[in-house]
Every structure is written in structure tokens, then in C-alpha cells.
């Protein structure tokens, strides 16, 4: 249930509660109705409003619909996502983040933060290099079967057919004026990859995610960008339950 759907449900129940509270000819049945309202509807309204505040501003659940984060996250896992943390600081390297992608989608995406604003990023021979340092990634399903580089104000990918820059009509790549250097991730931009590198629709396909502003290019150019929150715990199913670490 979305926050808006929950709020509508609470509103309907509050309207019923108001109707039951309207003075009318006193009858035994009306007395029973008022007792019912006090004992059952009032607590539900209070709990519903508390839940709405919680999932709107603090945390909410997220269902994993695809295998892009295997083996860390399995299809069907249910997570808790902290919506509060990124009001105080930007995502860190390794965070597992839920966010609206820069391409049309009815759902948020979930990926791992690999590159931060100002970083250099390259993928060579299946190894990711951040600021020249090879990352140790025990969480991935397999090494990526493509190479990647950030250069000349672009993201270039080589999947065996030679180097090709991402198409700005299909990917979010800011114009050169928004970069601080031609080979460093621009401000407010993040390079996101799935742990299932070879079966993940991520930054090597659609460019940068953003923590603020509006998407600079691609199918959602001009639409608001941002991060929904950080996934911090799997709570369902029980055998998979654990705290998620970067």
C-alpha cells in the first residue's frame, strides 16, 4: 500500500467515525455504534496516521521484483528503506539505495553506489577501479563482462564491439558545463551498479543517478531527481533476514 492509498483509507474511516458521532435520536443501537467507534475506529485512525507519517518521512518497505541485485538481494525479498538519513548527508560508496531512475518506470530502482561526485571510475577486465584503486567486491554474482570508463564528459562502454558513449537521448549525462573535469563524476551524480553485474539495468546503460535537481538528459529529462532512501535491513522472508552493510 502506498502512502497516498493509506491516507485515503484513513480518511474514509475518519469520515465514518464522524458520521457515527453526529447527534441523533438516541437508541440502543446508536449507543452500540458509538462504543464501536471509540473502541475500534479511533485506534485505527491514530495508528493509520502514525503509519502514514512513518512511511512518508522515516521508513518504508520495498519489495525486490528482479534479480539485478543477486546474490545480495533475492527476488521476493522485502526490505526496510531509511528515508530520513539522506536529508543529512549524501550516499556513501557501497550503500544500497532506492531511487527513481532516469528512465520511465512505474517503480523505483535499487542499486549499489559505486561512484560518488568527483570520483574517477573505470571497469577493466572485470574489475572496478575507483580513483585508481581496485575495489574488492565479494558481494557480486560475477565480474562484469563489459569495460567502462568516464572520459570526455561522457560514460563510454565496451561490451565487445568497441568503445561507445552512452546515447544522451537514452541516458542521463549532464552537459560539459555541469562537470568539474572531463573524467570525474559530475556534482550530484552517482554511478550505480547492480550486484548481478551482467543482468542489471544500471548506470552502464542509463547513465547517472542524481541526489538532487532535475535529470539533464534521457527520457526523463527535466523531471525531478533524488534518492528515496537507503535499504538497511531485509526482514522477509525470515531465512534471508539480516542487516545490510555497504
Task: Cite the active site residues.
Answer: 68, 111
CA 234 to chain CA mean position, Å: 15
State the greatest distance between any 2 C-alpha atoms of the chain, in Å, as a whole number. Answer: 83
What is the distance between the alpha carbons of residues 64 and 55, in angstroms, rounded to a whole number? 17
What is the distance between the alpha carbons of residues 78 and 46, in angstroms, rounded to a whole number? 25
What is the distance between the alpha carbons of residues 129 and 180, in angstroms, rounded to a whole number? 20
Distances (CA, A) of 119 to 11, 54, 94: 47, 34, 14
Q: Count the Cβ atoms, other than its own, within 10 Å of residue 187.
A: 15
What is the distance between the alpha carbons of residues 234 and 214, in angstroms, rounded to a whole number? 30
Q: Count the Cβ atoms, other than its own, within 10 Å of residue 3.
A: 15
Q: Residue 230 corresponds to which cell in the numbers above? A: 537507503
CB 157 within 8 A of CB 203: no
144 exposure class (CB count in 10 Å sphere: 0-12, 13-18, 19+): buried
Cis peptide before 91 (omega within 30 of 0): no
Amino acid at each position: 500500500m502506498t502512502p497516498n492509498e493509506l491516507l485515503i483509507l484513513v480518511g474514509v474511516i475518519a469520515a465514518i467515525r464522524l458520521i457515527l458521532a453526529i447527534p441523533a435520536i438516541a437508541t440502543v443501537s446508536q449507543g452500540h455504534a458509538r462504543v464501536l467507534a471509540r473502541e475500534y475506529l479511533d485506534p485505527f485512525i491514530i495508528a493509520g496516521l502514525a503509519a502514514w507519517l512513518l512511511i512518508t518521512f522515516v521508513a518504508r518497505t520495498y519489495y525486490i521484483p528482479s534479480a539485478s541485485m543477486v546474490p545480495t538481494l533475492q527476488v521476493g525479498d522485502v526490505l526496510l528503506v531509511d528515508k530520513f538519513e539522506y536529508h543529512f548527508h549524501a550516499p556513501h560508496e557501497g550503500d544500497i539505495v532506492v531511487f527513481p531512475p532516469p528512465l520511465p518506470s512505474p517503480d523505483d530502482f535499487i542499486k549499489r553506489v559505486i561512484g560518488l561526485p568527483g570520483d574517477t571510475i573505470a571497469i577493466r577486465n572485470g574489475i572496478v577501479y575507483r580513483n585508481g584503486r581496485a575495489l574488492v567486491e565479494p558481494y557480486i554474482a560475477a565480474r562484469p563482462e563489459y569495460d567502462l570508463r568516464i572520459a570526455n564528459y561522457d560514460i563510454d562502454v565496451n561490451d565487445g564491439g568497441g568503445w561507445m558513449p552512452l546515447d544522451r537521448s537514452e541516458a542521463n549525462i549532464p552537459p560539459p558545463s555541469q562537470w568539474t573535469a572531463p573524467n570525474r563524476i559530475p556534482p550530484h551524480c552517482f554511478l550505480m551498479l547492480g550486484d548481478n553485474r551482467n543482468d542489471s539495468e544500471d548506470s552502464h546503460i542509463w547513465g547517472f543517478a542524481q541526489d538532487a535537481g532535475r535529470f539533464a538528459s534521457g527520457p526523463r529529462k527535466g523531471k525531478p531527481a533524488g534518492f528515496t532512501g537507503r535499504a538497511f535491513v531485509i526482514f522477509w522472508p525470515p531465512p534471508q533476514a539480516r542487516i545490510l552493510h555497504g
